[in-house]
Structure 1
Amino acid sequence: MKRSVGQILGRAGIRIPLILWSIAVLYPIIWMFIGSLKSNAEIYRNPWGFPEILNWQNYVNAWSNYNIDTSVWNSLIVTLVGTLLTLLMAIPTAYAIERINFKGSKLLFTLYVSAMMIPMVLGWIPLFFLLSNIGLLDNVFGLAIVYSVSQLPFTIFVLTSFMSTIPKSLEEAASIDGMSPYGMLWKIITPLSMSGIITVTIMNAIQFWNEYFMALIFLNSSENYTLALAIDFISNEAQYTNAWGTLFASLIIAIIPVIVLYAIFQRRIAKGMTEGAIKG
């Protein structure tokens, strides 16, 4: 009896904080969704209640009148291009550091790991002038390049931990059969490191989609705004135009892709992080 009570208390001690944390996370999202379906009058009159009539016009206003459609497209370009560039640079680099013995490989890996400790804010001013000089300031592709470079150390760090556990005998057998190092990388190492690749891809994509400060610095014109900048603009406008329903609608539009992406790949992310922790 004492053992069963202890087990119940132990489970309750774990589950109750998790339930409270889930409520604290989900409640603002649910409240924001409900607010996106209200008129401005309803938001002021009954901010915590349900809408009397579902007002989908807020989504139409956000999509059309505040150019959320263009901002979504810009964020999609930045996220896809930035994520792809990060992988194209990180996968060969991680392979070279981990599997090819050359002088300075350990020093190079140390430099990449050390770069993770340097605040990105220290490079914003030099990057601003660099992008301006090469004509990529106020350009979504220039922003994508900055994003990819900023996440390169983290991506390399994760991928090297996965590649380190792949048996070298597979490469030796492939080398005997005449396969080139490039073939080993793309046909053997990359498929076997897919858990780590998927993990860093999703984490980088979410980071790029939600990023605000670098987009604020490197993008000037409204037609190049990412979703974070467009929402900030709507937030400033809402203070004077009372477009709170439109603001809530734009926030829902912004978080839906992230929620869907995480819901689909949550097991992959958990598995990849767990394997990475064990392998590292």
Structure 2
Amino acid sequence: MKERRTWVDVFWRLVLIVWSLSILFPLVWVLYESLKTNREFFQNVWSLPEAWKWVNYKNAWVKYQLGTTLLNTLYYVGASLVLGTLLTTLNAYALTRMEFKGRKLIWGTIMISLFLPGINALIPQYVLMRDLHLTNSLTGLILLESLGESVFFLMLLGGFMQSLPKELEESAFMDGASLFQVFGRIMVPLAMPGIVTVAIFKFLGLYNNFLAPFIYLSDPKKYTIGVNMYQANQMMQYTADWVTLFAGVTIAMVPSILMYVFFQRWIMEGATMGAVKG
């Protein structure tokens, strides 16, 4: 029997369509603005380009040194992603699957931190990084991002691990497996959907992170893509080469858009499985 749609269903579908268009329109607008000349841009920002100026992308790549910037971003995001995901997985396993004195107190303290704005830690973190001589260093930034655990990711992965059957660990311990063998050979493979979900969220957050690189990096040769695009935008006060800036912004958007498109199913499945089983 075919389900009948009510006017409420139609209304919410229209709302979702309008919402989707409001998100997609700025992306499309930036794309076709990046293919104009500056004269066409200043004449009419809404008109389509008379001819596709793909040379704007070459100019943006050279002018904003996007090759070096993307390598810096790859190092920063890649190392932070691997180390941070590993530490989150270890922490989630210890706090949800292991029994030890003080575990509930530690978990409760972590939950309390949800009510504290992260900006409050900005000054103490900067003082600590300065005293350890880790400012203006991509490696120092990686350590800051990796060791600074996110409560959201810990809750997400911890909730997923809690949903896994306890009998698998007990049988492995009875067969003589060590704690690290149980973690590496049983828990990690079973929790892989949740780990991948956390890793994707971490990637999107790290790639689009602006505040930490902006504060801690002072050498332009070490800038990540977010800080580099900010500095390029500041240059528009003097050059007004907007089409080249739009081309640079489009290049900067490509990795995060591709990541979301290709791994959207993993995000939905990982989050849903953790919620349903828990």
- Give the TM-score category using the shorter length: over 0.9
Do structure 1's residue 228 and structure 2's residue 237 form an aligned pair? no
Q: Give the alignment of 1:43-192 within 5 angstroms.
A: 43-192=41-190
Is the 1:158–1:196 Cα contact (8 Å) retained in structure 2?
yes
How much does 1:8 deviate?
A: 4.7
Aligned to 1:201: 199
- The unaligned stretches of length 5 or more in structure 1 are none
Instruction: Find the aligned partners of 1:208 and 1:50 in 2 and give their Cα distance.
Output: 34
How much does 1:114 deviate?
A: 2.3
How much does 1:167 deviate?
A: 1.1
**Segments of 4+ moved more than 3 angstroms:** 149-152
Q: Taking every aligned residue pair, what percent have the same amino acid on both sides?
A: 35
Equivalent residue letter for 1:113:
M
Instruction: Find the aligned partners of 2:28 and 2:91 in 1 and give their Cα distance.
Output: 43
TM-score normalised to structure 2 length: 0.94
Instruction: Find the aligned partners of 1:217 and 1:5 in 2 and give their Cα distance.
Output: 55
- Name the SS for the 2:258 alignment partner: helix
Aligned to 2:29: 31
Instruction: Find the aligned partners of 2:67 and 2:39 in 1 and give their Cα distance.
Output: 26
How much does 1:172 deviate?
A: 1.3
- Name the SS for the 1:53 alignment partner: coil
How much does 1:5 deviate?
A: 11
Instruction: Find the aligned partners of 2:139 and 2:277 in 1 and give their Cα distance.
Output: 34
Instruction: Find the aligned partners of 2:198 and 2:145 in 1 and give their Cα distance.
Output: 14
Count of residues in correspondence between the two structures? 278
Instruction: Find the aligned partners of 1:111 and 1:70 in 2 and give their Cα distance.
Output: 41
Aligned to 1:269: 267
How much does 1:6 deviate?
A: 6.2
Is the 2:88–2:149 Cα contact (8 Å) retained in structure 1?
no
Aligned to 2:40: 42
- Mark the CA change 1:170 to 1:102 in structure 2 (over 3 Å): closer, same or farther: same
TM-score normalised to structure 1 length: 0.94
Is the 1:39–1:245 Cα contact (8 Å) retained in structure 2?
yes
